[in-house]
Amino acid sequence: VYTFELHISKVAIGDRGDYRCEVTAKDKKDSCSFNIDVEAPRPSDNANVLQAFKRTGEAKGDMAGELDFSGLLQEEVQVEERKKKKDEDDPFPPEIWELLKGVTKKSEYERIAFQYGITDLRGMLKRLKKIKVEPKKSEAFIRKLDPYQVDKGNKIRLMVELSHPDLPLKWYKNGQLLKPSNKYVFENVGLKRILTIHKCSLADDAAYECRVNEEKCFTEVFVKEPPVTVEKGLDDQQVVVGDRVVLEAEVSEEGAQVMWMKDGVELTREETFKYRFKKDGKKHYLIINEATKEDAGRYKIMTNGGESEAEVIVEEKQLEVLQDIADLTVQASEQAVFKCEVSDEKVTGRWYKNGVEVRPSKRIHISHTGRIHKLVIDDVRPEDEGDYTFIPDGYALSLSAKLNFLEIKVEYVPKQEPPKIHLDCSGKSSENTIVVVAGNKLRLDVPISGEPVPTVTWMKGDEVFSVREGRARLEEQKELSSFVIESAERGDEARYTIRVTNPLGEDTATILIKVVDVPDPPEAVRITSVGEDWAVLTWDPPKYDGGQPVTGYLMERKKKGSMRWVKLNFDVYPETTYESTRMIEGMLYEMRVFAVNAIGVSQPSHNTQPFMPIAPTSEPTHLMLEDVTDTTATLKWRPPERVGAGGIDGYLVEYCREGSEEWIPANTELVERCGFTVRGLPTGEKLLFRVIGVNIAGKSPPATLAQPVTIREIVERPKIRLPRQLRQTYVRKVGEQVNLVIPFQGKPRPQVTWTKEGQPLGEDIHIRNSDTDSVFFIRAATRNHSGPYQLRLQIENMEDTATLHLRIIERPGPPRAVQVKDVWGFNALLEWEPPQDDGNSEITGYTVQKADKRTMEWFTVYEHNRLPRCTVSELVMGNEYLFRVYSENQCGTSETPGLSTNTARIPKAGLTLKPPKFQEHDFRSAPQFLTPLVDRSAVAGYTTALNCAVRGHPKPKVVWLKNQVAIGEDPRFLARHSQGVLTLHIRKPGPFDGGVYGCRAVNELGEALTECKLEIRVPQ
């Protein structure tokens, strides 16, 4: 444990503020903050004592009048008593409040209360809540630093406001002085001082300090990292057992933390013996060195702002034949070379001749170089002829070829011999076929004989071939003509003819050279249909099969934008239609196809157009018949339970007759809402209905009604659904609109009839009827529109009626016969009769107003008065009053009032003043000292004073005493008495002036005495 101390000598006001201690060790750092508060020194209690005294008298000047010590003495006594009482009554020790200020958990309050024996926990918490820390006003800062938070990479501005523009200011970061640079920019704007930090990084997350002379203010800047997103996701991979798998993703931040998961389980560092994690800037890698079947699954990379998922498919390892061995025809003493190439260079194998394993010897050599396996036979003999087979170890695969031995018989001929071509199939009627793989070398040696030496001519088709140099050329030797092709191409395929001539005749032979190659890529590769996680791929065979029949096809797919292709099959697929599965719905894919023949694999076809696996929706749910008429049927349904990524574009409605399979579309355009009315249906037919959901992927399975529907109007009894507010009288005001909607039901459409008291409606009342309701409309209502209205519905012999009561109201007329019936005291009785016109509404009350006949200013006395009479009180004596009354109903008050026909006059009455009896108060009291004398200590040679305050009436006689002896006319003592404050001045006291001083006050009701001790100190 290490201890560090901070010593501050001669503490000043500027040393107060927040302090921070930082500890750094290697790459770790820790810090803590604390606060130091410095208070200004308090003035001495004895300083400027005389300023607290008031002077008596009306004289002007600081030294005029007598000193009044009563206020000071009384305040000191009260302060002493309050402090003493507070110390006795306070049950909480002072040190507890500092502990409670630092508490962060509620349970700590109970622990501290139990530790200090406090039982009133609620009172302690209430008192703690009332404690307020008074902020100390800064002399240099008007506005201090606030806490700041900024996103990584953005800029931030720290601002303070000074009290004076010339104050020097410095900025610190973690205690280190900051200097202006491209990153830290200092600005002065008036009294504001601004520090701008550009491109904030995690290193800028620190404590910042601003100093002005000795004053400081602190803040902390928190740098928030933005969420890390996956910019380039993982790609699906398809590998074989033993291959190396590398999953690569790119995120938005370098060095970001990511989490790798396999099938929902996190891959931890404990599994590094199998999985290796690698970071390279923004790129993250998951590496599997040798994949096994257990490594197949869905891998996911997750960040705090995104994720990406890919599938790894691990297949059993398949051996692929890249080059098969070919049949050979050789002559005696020549060399025979069988060569094949497989996909795995680690695969070993054995050679067999006619089922018997071939062993190496001086003449037979077996070699294995990379992926190429060779069997070389030198000095070929007739017994070497046979079937040769290569079988790879560990695979059910065999490659076979035949070795043909070409035996040349040499016969003696005379010197003159006609030309002859020595081939097995020589002659005009026969031809020899030689097959060569494109890219391989072909050397055809044709032995010839004849005397004299014959002339050799080669023909390629119908043209003479005489090239001696180049890729395809002729070579001449004695009794041998050779045709050489270094690297066979498709254009070298032709019928070649060799003709030899001399004077004795000629001989010809035809050789058909067939160049076999990998086929051309498949054509017209396209996607014909897609589903939720599958797609059907179709293509046409290649135009050119490479000279060998196409044995099948290989398919690959990839996500759009990715560069990694995933194989869909390892064994060749013979058909031209393939269904790809295990795809992610809503993801864009591309596919391509390779053609395969006995020679190899073609170049890839053109990529398909990007497509997205999207499934049609499931069938609509809850299909039901809502209504049916003679020619229509209304259906409604709910959306499908599964919609998928393709959404839903609309619905198709179809119907068919019962027993028929022919479905007839009811709508030509898609219906977006979940309801449709099919029109134009044959009356009386039984029909089945179905609904199909449609989206970009196609049509969903249909939802069909369980029972057929008979297209016939269902007779429904008429029924008026009168709204609740119309079941009682409907009231409107004159001039307002009346717009009423009365719904009803009934099938077929009922006949609607409106009447008023048995009579047809007037022209100013408009009626609009529909299949389900009737609208009653009046543009501007009048009183004549009031009354009962009858609504009648009729269907054949069935009917239903309802009555609507309508009342149109307006303001009432004024009250009648308003008069004053009686006047007594300050009251008047007012009566009137109801108005002649109530406005077609009940009178709800009256408003009564009064006015003084001299001023004629009207004042409301009563509002909403129910009775046609009232008593007006608090009238002013000597005044004469007029009255008016307004009538009220539901529409409002009447436009004109009813005026009283007579007035109410309040007569004056005589007044007599009876003053109360006065009893003089007795102010006499015995003398009583309000402020007693206090023991004092004075310095010899310096004037001192003794003070006390007395009360009494009549004014008491005051006598000063020293050691129980009255002080006479001694000039060294001066006694003052002003408004009850008694003062004894002792001028330049000596050592013998010390003792017990007293003050006695005497009047006719008694006396009082107070004493104090005066000590005279002699300075040394």
DSSP 626-659: EEE-SS-EEEEEE--S---TT---EEEEEEEETT
Q: Which amino acid is located at 120 in the chain?
A: D
Quote the tokens at residue 607.
């990529």
Q: How far apart are the C-alpha atoms of 25 and 184, rounded to whole Å? A: 27
Nearby residues of 349 by Cβ (< 8 Å), 6 or more positions away:
368, 373, 390, 391, 392, 393
Q: How far apart are the C-alpha atoms of 615 and 535, rounded to whole Å? A: 10
Q: How far apart are the C-alpha atoms of 224 and 716, rounded to whole Å? A: 71
Q: How far apart are the C-alpha atoms of 159 and 166, rounded to whole Å? A: 16
Among 472, 515, 510, residue whose Cα is nearest residue 490:
515
What confidence score (pLDDT) does residue 62 get? 46
What confidence score (pLDDT) does residue 521 get? 93
- Three-class DSSP category at 357: strand
Detail the DSSP E strand segments found in 669-723: 675-678, 686-695, 698-699, 703-704, 709-710, 716-720
What confidence score (pLDDT) does residue 507 get? 87
Quote the tokens at residue 968.
């006479």
Quote the tokens at residue 444.
């055809």
Q: How far apart are the C-alpha atoms of 92 and 656, rounded to whole Å? A: 93
What confidence score (pLDDT) does residue 45 get? 45
Using alpha carbons only, how large is the chain's radius of gyration in Å?
61
Output DSSP code: residue 269: G
Task: Map 246-264 to HEC letters.
Answer: EEEEEECCCCCCCEEEECC
Pair type for strands 215-224 and 148-151 = parallel
Taking 50 as the pLDDT cut, the residues of the chain under it are 43-54, 56-65, 67, 72, 77, 88, 132-135, 413, 426-430
Angle between helices 121-130 and 106-115 (to 10 degrees): 110
Q: Are residues 171 and 195 in contact, defined by beta-carbon separation less than 8 angstroms?
A: yes
Q: How far apart are the C-alpha atoms of 493 and 514, rounded to whole Å? A: 5
Q: How far apart are the C-alpha atoms of 372 and 343, rounded to whole Å? A: 9
Listing DSSP states for 464-484 in one string gives EE---SSSEEEEEETTEEEEE
Task: Quick: pLDDT tens for 430-482.
Answer: 467 888 888 888 888 888 888 888 888 888 888 888 888 888 888 888 888 88
Q: How far apart are the C-alpha atoms of 497 and 34, rounded to whole Å? A: 107
Alpha helix (H) ranges present in 820-899?
Answer: none
What confidence score (pLDDT) does residue 41 get? 64
Q: Torsion angle, CA of 857/863/866/870, rounded to 10 degrees?
A: -40
Q: Are residues 749 and 714 in contact, defined by beta-carbon separation less than 8 angstroms?
A: no
Cis, bond preceding 834 (omega within 30 deg of 0): no
Nearby residues of 156 by Cβ (< 8 Å), 6 or more positions away:
148, 150, 196, 197, 200, 221
Nearby residues of 48 by Cβ (< 8 Å), 6 or more positions away:
none
pTM more than 0.85: no
Q: How far apart are the C-alpha atoms of 151 and 199, rounded to whole Å? A: 9
